[in-house]
Amino acid sequence: MTPIRTERLMLRNWQDRDRELFHRISSDERVMEFFPFRRDRPQSDATMNEMRDVIDRDGFGWSAVEIAVSGECIGLVGLSFADMEPVAPAGAVEIGWRLAPEYWGKGYVTEAAEAWLAYGFETLGLHEIMSFAVWNNLRSTAVMERLGMSRDRSGGFDHPRVPDTHPQLKRHVLYRLSRKDWQARKRATPRAG
């Protein structure tokens, strides 16, 4: 992928120097609170390799997020094929994120996600981008709302890949953003500077 630069961040493909951070967020209880699994280091390395290969193949995916001035990797934000039939139709694209806890509350996820939405709608020509989270994951749903996404009140679902051993994590809410709504929001938001 061609790296995407925002005001404070660089969104790029994964590099070997990111392995420690990726393992840390993949095994951190706070980051993974709403996921039914934690990854050990070999699983984490294999997952990072898969994500890097997807980005090489598709030009987008779950990318590394780096603070531009320091080069420090802080987590992931990106677009990915949802692969969630029948919840989402074939080819549907979702946006998602995970950051190390010390970077929460600084606006990094929203900043990176805004750049990915622009990429999805302008470069990929997507008509809609969706996002979903466990029903009580208020941090993530707050980001979705800041991004201008709307909750699909009829789109709640039990995640098909969450095992029955984690019933508290099965129920998900679905948010959507159409290109038309994104463009209207973009036109309505005055640019700084």
Average pLDDT rounded to a whole number, residues 22-49:
95
CB 134 within 8 A of CB 169: yes
Average pLDDT rounded to a whole number, residues 18-39:
94
What is the per-residue pLDDT for 193?
46
Q: Is residue 193 part of a domain?
A: no
What is the per-residue pLDDT for 87?
80
Give the H/E segment covering residue 174: strand 171-178
Q: Is residue 47 part of a domain?
A: yes
CB 61 within 8 A of CB 55: yes
Band (140; pLDDT cuts 50, 70, 90): very high
Average pLDDT rounded to a whole number, residues 10-23:
98
- Domain span at 156: 4-188
Who has greater pLDDT, 154 or 127? 127
Helix spans in 59-159 (H): 108-118, 138-146
Q: Domain containing 84 — which CATH number?
A: 3.40.630.30
The burial class, CB within 10 Å (0-12 / 13-18 / 19+), for 118 is middle
Q: Is residue 111 part of a domain?
A: yes
Average pLDDT rounded to a whole number, residues 113-128:
97
Band (75; pLDDT cuts 50, 70, 90): very high
Band (139; pLDDT cuts 50, 70, 90): very high
Residue 143: is its pLDDT beyond 90? yes
Q: Is residue 87 part of a domain?
A: yes
Q: Is residue 155 part of a domain?
A: yes
Record the pTM.
Answer: 0.93
CA angle in degrees (0–180, nearest 5) for 7-10-15: 170
**How many folded domains does the chain comprise?**
1
Q: Is residue 44 part of a domain?
A: yes
Who has greater pLDDT, 163 or 46? 46
Residue 22 in tokens? 């990726």
Residue 155: is its pLDDT beyond 60? yes
